[in-house]
Structure 1
Amino acid sequence: MSALASNAPVAVIGAGAMGAGIAQVAAQAGHPVKLYDNRPGAAVQALAGIDRQLARLVEKGTLQPAERQAISARLCPVESIEALADARLVIEAIVENLQVKQALFSQLEALCAGDCILASNTSSLSITSLAAGLERPQQLVGMHFFNPAPLMALVEVVSGLATAPAVAACIHATAKAWGKQPVHARSTPGFIVNRVARPFYAESLRLLQEGAADCATLDALLREAGGFRMGAFELTDLIGHDVNYAVTCSVFEAFYGDFRFQPSLLQKELVDAGRLGRKTGQGFYSYAEGAGRAQPHELHSPATAEACVVEGHLGVLQPLVERLRASGITVVQRAGSGVIQVGEATLALSDGRLASQRARQDGLRNLVLLDLALDYASATRLAISWSADTSDHARDQAVALLQCAGLRVTPVADLPGLVVLRTVAMLANEAADAVLQGVGSAADIDLAMRAGVNYPCGPLAWAANIGIAQTLRVLDNLQRSYGESRYRPSLLLRRCEAEGGSLHD
């Protein structure tokens, strides 16, 4: 089904930040847009805010004055819901309350034409439940924008059990015509983004609780090694812990207490204390005036390194070897099990085992484990941990080698999977389960995580780069270490490894 004609009337209900943003997007795409809110004057106030946003775009030179006038002319505030009767598409962006939304859609169904598409911007409620009491449930679809709607590219097009495929296809095409990057999703808890993103927060929270490192250090590793725009603690402080914790609890409860989505006691404590992040001035970090920015921990080695021995192929770690060569380190290549030898130290990419456990099981002396990086050729920071019997001198030699490559070296406690590796493995695992359960395609899920939450790489593409077998090995070792179902590998990963196929097939 093709997109709505650009002159088709669109209505938006709810004049808050999200509703106003959606109205702006639709008007910029050429639609006449009516904005309604049951709070007197709210729609007029919202449109004034949109006009100010457009004026700033004119000042920056990204919008012509005539375009601003045309967009503003297409936006119309209305004071009654009856004024929306001629709309071809109605998008609600009101309070996240199932009963309130159901009542609204029943009212709209009686008011609008039979072929009018009703869309919900809900981020957490079931589209199936919202449509259950309607006479034409096939006309209801989820159209989940991300905040701020004019800037964020992703739109999740969510189908409930009764949603007509043609309706979902029309909304997908319409979102694309509006300049967005739409993805299809099935109506399950969290849809794509709010489900697949849970491990990003959960693993950092658990690492903090287990004493791996402090907030600033863990955040720096996710940014400077993992390539994420923000670390988990910075991001939850920005989102608000009340909001982030509530979403986690909602997904946890919706999945009948599956421990993969278990909320964090650390975050609950912040919520209970009213330390909600930036909006209250205190979360994991202080935002009080004059508060200094916490700095990540680093190691500085007095040792020197001029040469190293690379034994075997290092897999995803191989670009580090080229970086060492480029920095003037003499690299000797020989057969082996995929490790780097420098002085007395043995360096290896983590496989999800504790360093002390791997050293004992594999007979490796002075073992130093390296964390994952998005790109070892350009990363500026890398986490390491080491076995209990690694000497200080051997550790210093390992640090010296990495420093020669221009890396800031950050220590973390000997915990399974370090920081970036276990986070990425769990993101990929959740994405794989979402594909397995028909929530979305592999391509759509990777796109959703890049466009919706700005991940540097889709989790499934990342797992393919690491190697499906290696990703599975990390998850299996995490599960053995913790003895919890939280880390159970997705059946899809096992099937892909067994069949030698691709996650994107």
Structure 2
Amino acid sequence: MTDTGATTRAAGAAVAPDRTVAVVGAGTMGQGIAQVALVAGHPVRLYDAAPGRAEQAARAVAGRLDRLVAKGRMAPEERDAAAARLHPAAGLDELADAALVVEAVVERLDVKQELFKALEKVVGDDCLLATNTSSLSVTAIGGALRLPGRFVGMHFFNPAPLLPLVEVVSGFATDTACATRAYETARAWGKTPVACADTPGFIVNRLARPFYAEAFAVYEERAADPATIDAVLRESGGFRMGAFELTDLIGQDVNEAVTTSVWEAFFQDPRFRPSLAQRRLVEAGMLGRKTGRGWYAYDDQGVQRPEPHTAEPADPPAYVVVEGDLAPFGELLDMIRASGVPLRQQEEDGGTRLELPSGGQLAPADGQTSVEFSDVVYFDLALDYREATRIALAAGPDTSPETLAQATGLFQALGKKVSVIGDVPGMIVARTVARLVDLAREAVAKGVASEEDVDTAMRLGVNYPLGPIEWGRRLGRGWAYEVLEEMHRRDPSGRYAPSLALYRHSYAEDGAGAPDAAGGAPDTADPAGAAGERREDGR
């Protein structure tokens, strides 16, 4: 059995550039992988079972090389040399001298198994066999082989020539030396490889599920519309795209299929449960950009996106009373001081609170809801409160209009647009980040990948502003655990139950004790900011 991706990599050499690389499957991914290998200097043979498809794909790759020359990114002589190394193959027998075969055919286990069994009869025993699967088990595909130790996953991201990440996936039987060779080959091709064990969704597709799921959940709870949720994720959370616009780009059918695959592979774990709202969209044929309609409408001019909800201007409060340091959101205190709103510091008595002149309180999203208290407004997490251009606020039915207006005016005085959303636990960014941190910690604890590779994969694979491990560090060890524990109390379906790995990580530092039987934090670690003091008037 191979070591997992978290294991220190053994010494190994990349496939030499003078050795042939074969790509089986001449679709978009196959063409992209072939181009990457060509530019790296390899002779490349491109095969597809459909008659004429390999020749057509070879012409398409040559056309892409021409465009690189036109853009000044490749010299004409380099283009000519690369094009001369590209050969369409009429049959598998023409791949006999390949040192590496990368498969990029349809995502069906039986098809891939039969293909690799046929390849084993053609290539030498020292040939590295790799699958580009994004959703199937590398172990299951390789299990049908005579020599499963030389079988590995090399999951490129589309478009392969542009995106740097390659997930190098070790199946249960993959030899460490073979995984190392695939890893070093990807690196020699100018890619950024990450090593991971064979788990549903690997790193990126496993850990990215909450980004979509929590946005859809907020929508299904009627707390906000897609345009507002997307705006908060972008302008407060720092994500490059919101979940609704991103799934429209990916294709709702494709995104839902990956979610369903991961959910089923984890034996219908509620943390990966698909969205009913997305299911209805797929059933209606509203698949996103490719059909002209998804969460948003599209035409020749692009997306027809409604405006996000933005609160009307409100007067800032006459002052704000603060108790405690508002950790890990202390930068807000400096921002309030700089805005000219008087800040009154009270002696700390074990709690952290912001009190407004109305007598109401302003609190960071922590997994609880405003409806549980007499007069509270919650504000959402931001990647960087100074750089954020929008902040979400949530108020319950018992929140006074004065408190909501003063909270709105305060953030507007800090230069932020304000979106008021429904009273949902964890709001938008906070619940998303807490779940990302949880799944990342669990993946590391279970040997799926190292902390470094997890963060690299999420930054490069899906353009997250921070890797979830680093994000968790910035927020403090116990922050994600406390948010999810509060959400789990309000939704005990298991969807928000913190993992054992997060539990251990949150309370293992500096001799801090574990949470007590009721789930409260120990005296030595109060990541939620001693919030109990803030909620004396709770019901």
The TM-score range, normalised by the shorter chain, is over 0.9
Residues matched between the structures, number: 496
- Corresponding residue for residue 526 of structure 2: none
- Corresponding residue for residue 354 of structure 1: 369
Conserved? CA contact 2:22–2:101, under 8 Å: yes
State the SS of the aligned residue for 2:377.
strand
- Corresponding residue for residue 341 of structure 2: 329
- Aligned-residue offset at 1:289: 5.1
- Corresponding residue for residue 297 of structure 1: 309
- Aligned-residue offset at 1:489: 0.5
- Partners of 2:317 and 2:57 in 1: CA distance: 62
Match of 2:135 among 110, 121, 124: 124
State the SS of the aligned residue for 1:184.
strand
- Partners of 2:65 and 2:420 in 1: CA distance: 47
- Partners of 1:250 and 1:319 in 2: CA distance: 41
- Corresponding residue for residue 363 of structure 1: none
- Partners of 1:343 and 1:62 in 2: CA distance: 61
- Partners of 1:292 and 1:13 in 2: CA distance: 39
State the SS of the aligned residue for 2:241.
coil
- Aligned-residue offset at 1:493: 1.3
- Aligned-residue offset at 1:116: 0.3
- Partners of 2:79 and 2:499 in 1: CA distance: 49
- Corresponding residue for residue 216 of structure 1: 227
Deviations for 1:8-65, whole angstroms, at most 9, x for unmatched residues?
2111011110000001111111111111112222222222222322232223223222
- Aligned-residue offset at 1:368: 1.3
Using the TM superposition, name which of 180-189 and 385-394 deviates more. Answer: 385-394
State the SS of the aligned residue for 2:330.
helix
Q: Does 1:308 align with 2:320?
A: yes
State the SS of the aligned residue for 1:155.
strand
Q: Which residues of 2 match residues 88-487 of structure 1 at below 5 A? A: 88-288=99-299, 292-305=304-317, 307-336=319-348, 337-344=351-358, 345-357=360-372, 359=373, 366-487=375-496
- Aligned-residue offset at 1:249: 1.3
- Aligned-residue offset at 1:192: 1.1
Deviations for 1:466-496, whole angstroms, at most 9, x for unmatched residues?
1121211100001001111111101111111
Match of 2:45 among 15, 19, 34: 34
- Partners of 2:223 and 2:75 in 1: CA distance: 52
C-alpha change, 1:405 and 1:247, in structure 2 (3 Å) is same
The structure with more helix, counted as a fraction of residues: 1
Q: Read off the aligned partner of 1:58 and give its amino acid letter.
A: V
- Corresponding residue for residue 504 of structure 2: 495
Deviations for 1:216-274, whole angstroms, at most 9, x for unmatched residues?
00011111111111111111111111111111111111111111111111111111111
- Aligned-residue offset at 1:306: 5.5
- Partners of 1:96 and 1:270 in 2: CA distance: 23
Conserved? CA contact 2:477–2:507, under 8 Å: no
- Partners of 1:326 and 1:112 in 2: CA distance: 69
Deviations for 1:366-386, whole angstroms, at most 9, x for unmatched residues?
321110011111001111112
User: Could you state the TM-score of these two structures normalised by the residue count of structure 2?
Assistant: 0.89
- Superposed structure 1 runs of 4+ greater than 4 Å apart: none
State the identity %: 51
State the SS of the aligned residue for 1:485.
coil
- Aligned-residue offset at 1:321: 2.4
- Partners of 2:327 and 2:82 in 1: CA distance: 52
- Corresponding residue for residue 87 of structure 1: 98
Deviations for 1:433-487, whole angstroms, at most 9, x for unmatched residues?
2222221122211111111111111112111211121211100001001111111
- Partners of 1:59 and 1:473 in 2: CA distance: 54
- Aligned-residue offset at 1:406: 0.8
Conserved? CA contact 1:126–1:189, under 8 Å: yes
C-alpha change, 1:214 and 1:276, in structure 2 (3 Å) is same
Q: Read off the aligned partner of 2:22 and give its amino acid letter.
A: A
User: Could you state the TM-score of these two structures normalised by the residue count of structure 1?
Assistant: 0.95
- Aligned-residue offset at 1:325: 3.1
Q: Read off the aligned partner of 2:405 and give its amino acid letter.
A: D
